[in-house]
Amino acid sequence: MDRNIFIEELKQVPIEKQGVEFVERKGIGHPDSIADGLAESVSRALSKMYIERYGRILHHNTDEVEVVGGQSAPKFGGGAILEPVYILLVGRATTEVNGERLPYRTCAVKAAYEYLEKHCKHLDVEWDVILDCRIGQGSVDLRGVYDTKRLLANDTSFGVGFAPFSETEKITLETEKFINGKLCKSMPELGEDVKVMACRMDDRINLTIAVAMVDCRLGDRKAYEASIEQATVKIHDFAQKFTDRELTVDVNTADDYKKGIYYLTVSGLSMENGDDGSVGRGNRANGLITPMRPMSMEASAGKNPVTHVGKLYNILATQVANEIVKAGRGDIKEVHTRILSQIGKPIDDPQAASAKIIYAGNVNPSKYDKEVRAIYDEKLAKITDLTKQIVAGKVSVF
């Protein structure tokens, strides 16, 4: 297939050599990440239900989840949730096929509860959450669906990717995973609501980290303060492994011990006390928020993994960018990828695909044109493989 693939040299200073860099990662328990995670878990559950019943994924989009914060009264030794968190599942799903009603609501609500129980370990999901499913209904006659061999884009949209991650980007991503992984296991007073903001100024990197602390695990102020000090040291030791630059770590900087202000929660989640969340307001498809890099505003979580290019192209663009850097074998310092669809056209044949490449010195810009084009062609030709990976939960979208 003769696809519209454009390869250009990008003449700008690579991110690692720029003076200032900001990177953000919202952890798994952040309200926006909760919304993303719920949307994606519901989409995967519906996809699996459709496959089991009909051998294919039917139309759905569950990317409009809203998290409305509750009210709580945390205190050292253990507080209480006063008003539950309200979660609204919104979107569209195929609820009827050839006159047969499907258990779409049961499927969606079960998936949402299972996700919360897995990722919000200090939250009493049964009592402290109101889960409201308002996913819209739609019917379909299977005889009129997928009668062509080529899947068609359901929107005119674009996906954006870049590679490789800078040192600061890698530190940001890995630090949040460390906190919500190994560190939380060894320090259960740390909640899942974590945010990591990195600021690199020349060769100095600062990590400003917010961690919701669990009140029942902390007997008094001294225990809280000691825990923050211990966490700061452990986070610094972990993050320093990724860089030779000067590194500083600040945890819960809004605390004011003299005034008795602490980031204390009942559930380890800020959504227990007023913080809201929405799909698409958090991490991009690559897991980060990177204002110094090309980004898409598109929300990937919850969109159907078959024809929604707003999801597929953001993931694919990132995969293509990483493959291009790998193929460069050191000759390619940085690559920015963008893919644009046209509604109603085959998803494997975008309106245009772009690769803008920063080369190392003394590299002929056309040296890798054929290889870059081949990478794009192969990834687009096998785009249905990406659908399978998404449904299996092997690809993260936030």
Range in 95-99, 160-164, 201-205, 338-342 the model is least confident about: 95-99
pTM: 0.94
Q: What is the pLDDT of residues 36-88, one digit of tens each?
A: 999 999 999 999 999 999 999 999 999 999 999 999 999 999 999 999 999 99
Q: Residue 145 — pLDDT band, cuts 50, 70, 90? A: very low
Mean pLDDT of 344-368: 95
Mean pLDDT of 91-115: 94
Q: Residue 294 — pLDDT band, cuts 50, 70, 90? A: very high
Mean pLDDT of 329-354: 96
Listed in order, the ranges of the chain carrying CATH 3.30.300.280 are 5-14+154-165+292-391
Q: Residue 146 — pLDDT band, cuts 50, 70, 90? A: very low
Are the C-beta atoms of residues 29 and 268 closer than 8 Å to each other?
Answer: yes
Are the C-beta atoms of residues 51 and 193 closer than 8 Å to each other?
Answer: no
Q: Which of 339, 193, 319 is closest to 268 using CA atoms? A: 193
Mean pLDDT of 356-369: 94
Q: Which of 277, 288, 280, 304 is closest to 42 using CA atoms? A: 304
Mean pLDDT of 374-392: 96
pLDDT in the model for residue 149:
54
Mean pLDDT of 316-321: 98
Mean pLDDT of 286-315: 96
Are the C-beta atoms of residues 190 and 228 closer than 8 Å to each other?
Answer: no
Q: What is the pLDDT of residues 210-236, one digit of tens each?
A: 999 999 999 999 999 999 999 999 999
Q: Where are the alpha helices (DSSP H) in the chain?
A: 31-54, 104-119, 125-128, 167-178, 184-186, 221-240, 309-328, 369-381, 383-391
In this model, does residue 188 exceed pLDDT 70? yes
Query: Average model confidence (pLDDT) for the chain?
Result: 95
In this model, does residue 112 exceed pLDDT 90? yes
pLDDT in the model for residue 99:
86
Q: What is the pLDDT of residues 272-284, one digit of tens each?
A: 998 999 999 999 9
Q: Which of 31, 70, 77 is closest to 278 using CA atoms? A: 31
pLDDT in the model for residue 24:
98
Class of CATH domain 5-14+154-165+292-391: alpha beta
pLDDT in the model for residue 1:
76
167-267 is a CATH 3.40.50.720 domain:
no
Q: Where does residue 382 rank: exposed (0-12), middle (13-18), buried (19+ CB within 10 A)?
A: exposed
Listed in order, the ranges of the chain carrying CATH 3.30.300.340 are 167-267
Residue 247, amino acid: L
In this model, does residue 191 exceed pLDDT 50? yes
SS3 252: coil
pLDDT in the model for residue 141:
57
Q: Residue 199 — pLDDT band, cuts 50, 70, 90? A: very high
pLDDT in the model for residue 137:
82
Q: Which residues of 269-296 are buried (b: 16+ CB within 10 A; e: fewer)?
A: bbbbbebbbbbbbbbbbbbbbbeebebb
pLDDT in the model for residue 148:
45
Whole-angstrom Cα distance, residue 52 to residue 102? 12
In this model, does residue 140 exceed pLDDT 80? no
In this model, does residue 144 exceed pLDDT 70? no
Phi, psi of 297 (to 5 degrees): -80, -10
pLDDT in the model for residue 102:
95
Which residue's entry shows tokens 């919000």?
Answer: 120
The CATH code of the domain at 31-141 is 3.30.300.10
